[in-house]
Chain A
């Protein structure tokens, strides 16, 4: 007998049809009816029924049971019918033939599992079901407990100690992370195959060993989840033996925030009150944009409350049709710096997506370094009022690079960006960089073959770096097309290869211009700064704004739960304390690269970075995940793993052992007892 699931709909109820079920139900009803019909009451005249009524009201709750208690015969009759019905249903239960079974219990603890549509929560319900399965394990069975959200974690490796398994299940805590079953399946198959040998998993982009050769002994998987995630359809697992245990209700009341961003109005320069000597006159207004979606099947009205550091700033009531999303714009005239919080006052089952946070830092011009042997166009572009409002640049010759002063300046963390004009440092600095006619150090960047007179064919004008820049009329004498690492983005393309490439480097970005503006002899190699409308000054301004954006008062992009927080701090701070939304404090030391990294972002909310009691930075961690906010579970939940479809059912049973005979015998014995009692009562009433 295997531990294979059998749906209740076809299983325990399979022996009887609906009509047949009516027979025992009718018999029970008839017995009850006869019982109540046979009483004939004697009328008695009393002065007042007032006290009797009060007495009966007091006892009404248990009066029925009191009556039943006295009536053994009725109880026995009902019990006999119940037993007959159970026997007719041909009850089965899991057999003891589970010796040596190997199971993996996967429990989803992502954000959507915190929904409270099943009491006390989906996660608790999932844990309860898995605990019930652990109780059913036979001796000699081994199992593993894995919790998964965006990452999978082995809570308990293979063991046959059921107490350890139970403890591991109980220890699983809810998180606000996204869900990835893919990762969890790979993990437990690796474990499973390592232990059992033969199981292989292969993704479509993974050129691993071909799937298909049947594994010898793949552990059976039990996946307790609400199924709200991208299904790993491209994962092909040969001989996968999995059971999907869906948790959660089919209807959703959830209303979730899917986005929240705060931006100073006029940040692009339009609303800035220009004029010489008015460098920091950035408008005090700000705009907050929120995306809110109704995941329920009914129309909902949600009140959105916007607070800054706990102070109510604005509130709007938004009506949402079922399944619709709305963008809500808050315009705040007098914007304060600090922690902006948006609360959707929706009475729904998932709390994590009812709040969103964003940080508006005080505006400050960024600090930059330009290392150049001399570039008058660059100097002119950085000297404009507009550019100086956004960033203050220091100019140094290439000879500055090997000096200890350069090292100290870079290590201090005070620089937001560096422009290397025809030179490069020995190591990547801890900030974003632009290389003009040079490549970043290291071997991830490669130079293409030198080309003459490349013709610009495409400029990524949607990218902030090349916004309002037009290179159509620009002539370039010679260029070395840069080839960036994987993940690099070509910003300017020519007929001879890319001319500008942007690539991320940790939390920083490196942009490379594949052509120098001046030759070694000082002769200009491009007419870009001179072409009317080509926008060289605009490009430099874009660089300053883009690389210095976190300093310019723009809220940094929100971090999702589970993503690490990486940051640099000025002022030689070596150790900081990160205060999580729940109040947990973690001490983070500065890494070798000068960065601080904090990983425990399981919960949504503001994370405060403090050093020596002073608040340094605030990071907002938000859910913003439509898959997690979509809490409704399908009527017939399905889980598609590769080409295999697992249909979950709210109720399911394990393998069947026929067991109706004992019930029937018990019923007959009961009948005998009843006859005996009846006979005794009849003979001496």
Chain B
């Protein structure tokens, strides 16, 4: 599945018209396409203020000088860029499903990253298993799209870092602000709470995207089984009978409900995906509805 292109040209065409919406307004590093709270240089007029010594004479409104014989400076809205971060869980548990959960995650991140690139935002994609001192490259501009796709295609589900550790490392590497999309299955034996709490404490506009495969959502198993965890190889012995599967279903639903509630309470956006949903639908419909992107 990883050999298939992440995004087809049709999908890319659909994404062309989208941009991010950030609920929090951040200061950018460079002038970009986003309106900032800072006044600065653009074509969009914002306000007047009194001239003080040192102001650029180019911005003095000479018409007013002529009429009132007083110096006023014209202020314009500054347009700035936005930081878009994606943090992908690439633990072995993501390598499950048809297509794999990791593939779905890569598709989503590629689509969002592409939107970021074409809107001149800073795009940075990292993984949970990434070493503390190995930051990912930062991309900007449409011409970097192919580099980003290549980077994403190279991600393999091999790293066994816990969610908490991965998130903390990410936080240490990236001190800036912006939109953060965490994509993973949240199935960490230590729980996701501490990691998400850590994210909530930072200034990112955080989106948590939980991806589970059909096999996890509706397990089709029967008989006396020994379930072996692919990450830590711990085994659980079960007798897969209907009451147990029903109980699993209840536990799963409770788990998802709890995760959503946990995120919502802490001002984070939560989104649940299964590995079968087409990425263009996710981005163009679900994420638009949830307010991450706009036309």
Task: Please report A residues at the B interface, Cβ cutoff 8 Å.
Answer: 39-56, 58-59, 66-67, 70
Q: A44-B221, A70-B241 are in contact. Are A54 and B251 (CB under 8 A)?
A: yes
Q: Is A44 a contact partner of B248 (Cβ separation < 8 A)?
A: no
Q: How far is the CB of A73 from chain B (nearest CB, A)?
A: 16
Q: A42-B224, A50-B189, A55-B247 are in contact. List 7 more A-B contacts (CB 8 A).
A: A43-B225, A43-B228, A45-B230, A47-B93, A47-B101, A48-B230, A51-B251
Contact in complex: A48, B185 (CB < 8 Å): yes
B57 within 8 A of A: no
Q: Are A43 and B230 in contact (CB under 8 A)?
A: no
Known: A55-B248, A58-B251. A44 touches B243 (CB 8 A): no
Instruction: Pick from B72-80, B107-115, B148-156, B231-239 the stretch touching chain A.
Output: B231-239
Residues of the B chain whose Cβ atoms lie less than 8 Å from the Cβ of A47: 92-96, 101, 185, 187, 213, 216, 229-231
Say whether B229 contacts A49, CB under 8 Å. Answer: yes
| B188 proximal to A (CB < 8 A) | yes
What CA separation (Å) do A49 and B248 show in the bound complex?
A: 11
- Chain B residues near A52: list those with CB within 8 A: 227, 236, 238, 248
11 A-B pairs whose Cβ atoms sit less than 8 Å apart in the complex: A46-B96, A46-B228, A47-B230, A48-B185, A48-B189, A48-B231, A49-B227, A51-B251, A55-B244, A56-B236, A58-B247
Q: Is the CB of B238 within 8 A of A51?
A: no
Shortest Cβ gap from A548 to chain B (Å): 79
B223 at the interface (CB under 8 A from A): yes
Residues of B within 8 A of A40 (CB): 224
Contact flag A48-B255 (CB < 8 Å), given A41-B237, A55-B248, A56-B236: no
Residues of B with C-beta under 8 A to A66: 241, 243
Closest Cβ–Cβ distance, residue A579 to chain B (whole Å):
57
**Which A residues are in CB contact (< 8 Å) with B239?**
39, 67
CA distance in complex: A326, B120 (Å): 91
The A-B contact count (CB < 8 A) is: 87
Q: Which chain A residue has the least Cβ–Cβ distance from B96?
A: A47
Are B227's CB and A50's CB within 8 A? no
Q: How far is the CA of A662 from the CA of B250 in the complex (A)?
A: 47
Q: What residue in chain A is nearest B255 (Cβ atoms)?
A: A51
Q: Which residue of A lies closest to B189 (CB)?
A: A50
Q: Is B23 an interface residue (CB 8 A)?
A: no
Is residue B197 contacting chain A, with contact meaning CB distance below 8 A?
A: no
Residues of chain A contacted by B96 (CB below 8 angstroms): 46-47
**Minimal Cβ-Cβ distance residue in B for A57:** B251
Residues of B within 8 A of A41 (CB): 224-226, 237
Which residues on the A side are within 8 Å of B92 (C-beta)? 47
A63 to chain B, nearest CB (A): 8
| Residues on the A chain within 8 Å of B248, using CB | 51-52, 55
Closest to B157 in A: A47
List the B side residues contacting A67 at CB < 8 Å.
239
Contact check, B226 vs A43: say whether CB atoms are below 8 A apart. yes
- Shortest A78–chain B CB gap in Å is 19
Judged by a CB distance under 8 angstroms, whether B252 is at the interface is yes
- CB < 8 Å: which of B189, B230, B251 contacts A46? B230
The CA of A169 and the CA of B248, in the complex, are separated in Å by 52
- Rounded to whole Å, the gap between the CB of A330 and the closest CB of chain B is 57
Chain B, interface SS category? mixed
B224 touches A54 (CB 8 A): no
Determine if B223 and A42 form an interchain contact, defined as CB atoms under 8 angstroms apart.
Answer: yes
Specify the chain B residue showing the minimal Cβ separation from A70.
B241
Chain B, residues 58-97, CB within 8 Å of chain A (1/0): the string is 0000000000000000000000000000000000111110
Chain B residues with Cβ below 8 Å from A49 are: 227-229, 234-236
Q: For residue A24, give the distance in angstroms from its CB to the closest CB of chain B.
A: 28
Q: Contact between A51 and B252 (Cβ–Cβ < 8 Å)? A: yes
Closest to A46 in B: B227
CB distance from B201 to the nearest CB of A (A): 24
Q: Which residues of A contact B225 (CB under 8 A)?
A: 41-44
* Residues B192-242 near A (CB distance < 8 A): 213, 216, 221, 223-231, 234-239, 241
Complex Cα spacing A39 to B216, Å: 25
* Smallest beta-carbon distance B227→chain A, Å: 5
Alpha-carbon gap, A55 to B229, bound state (A): 15
Residue of A nearest to B254 (CB): A54
A98 to chain B, nearest CB (A): 49
CA A59 – CA B241 in complex, angstroms? 13
B228 contact set on A, CB distance < 8 A: 43-46, 49
Give the distance in Å from the alpha carbon of A66 to the alpha carbon of B240 in the complex: 12
B294 to chain A, nearest CB (A): 34
A40, A43, A50: residue with the most chain B Cβ atoms closer than 10 Å: A50
- In the complex, the chain A residue whose C-beta lies closest to that of B221 is A44
Nearest CB in chain B to that of A48: its residue = B187
8 closest Cβ contacts across the A-B interface? A47-B93, A48-B187, A41-B226, A47-B96, A49-B229, A55-B251, A49-B236, A43-B226
In angstroms, Cα B237 to Cα A70, docked, is 17
Verify B229–A48 contact, CB threshold 8 A.
yes
B residues in contact with A46, CB < 8 Å: 96, 216, 227-230
Interchain nearest-CB distance for B95 vs A (Å): 8
Which of these, A42, A48, A70, contacts B226 with CB under 8 Å? A42
CB distance from B234 to the nearest CB of A (A): 6
Contacts of B229 in A (CB 8 A): 46-50
Q: How far is the CA of A266 from the CA of B247 in the complex (A)?
A: 79
Q: Determine whether the beta carbon of B226 is less than 8 Å from that of A44.
A: yes
Most buried by A among B96, B223, B224, B251: B251
Residues of A within 8 A of B223 (CB): 42
Q: How many angstroms between the C-alpha atoms of A55 and B231 in the bound complex?
A: 19
Once the chains are docked, how many angstroms separate the CA of A67 from the CA of B235?
20
Q: Are A54 and B226 in contact (CB under 8 A)?
A: no
B98 → A minimal CB distance (Å):
13
> Complex Cα distance A48/B226, Å?
13
Chain B residues with CB under 8 Å of A53's CB are 236
Q: Closest CB of chain B to A472's CB: distance in Å?
A: 96
B residues less than 8 Å from A42 (CB atoms): 223-226
Q: How far is the CA of A56 from the CA of B216 in the complex (A)?
A: 16
Known: A44-B225, A44-B228. Is A51-B237 also a contact (CB below 8 A)? no
A53 to B237, CA, bound (A): 9
Q: Given known contacts A39-B224, A43-B228, is B255 in contact with A54 (CB within 8 Å)? A: yes
Docked Cα-Cα span, A66 to B247, in Å, equals 13
Q: Which residues of A contact B251 (CB under 8 A)?
A: 51, 54-55, 58
- In the bound complex, what is the Cα–Cα distance between A309 and B98 (angstroms)? 81
| Smallest Cβ-Cβ distance to A69: which chain B residue | B243
| Smallest CB separation, B247 vs chain A (Å) | 5
Cβ of B241: which chain A residues have Cβ within 8 Å of it?
66, 70
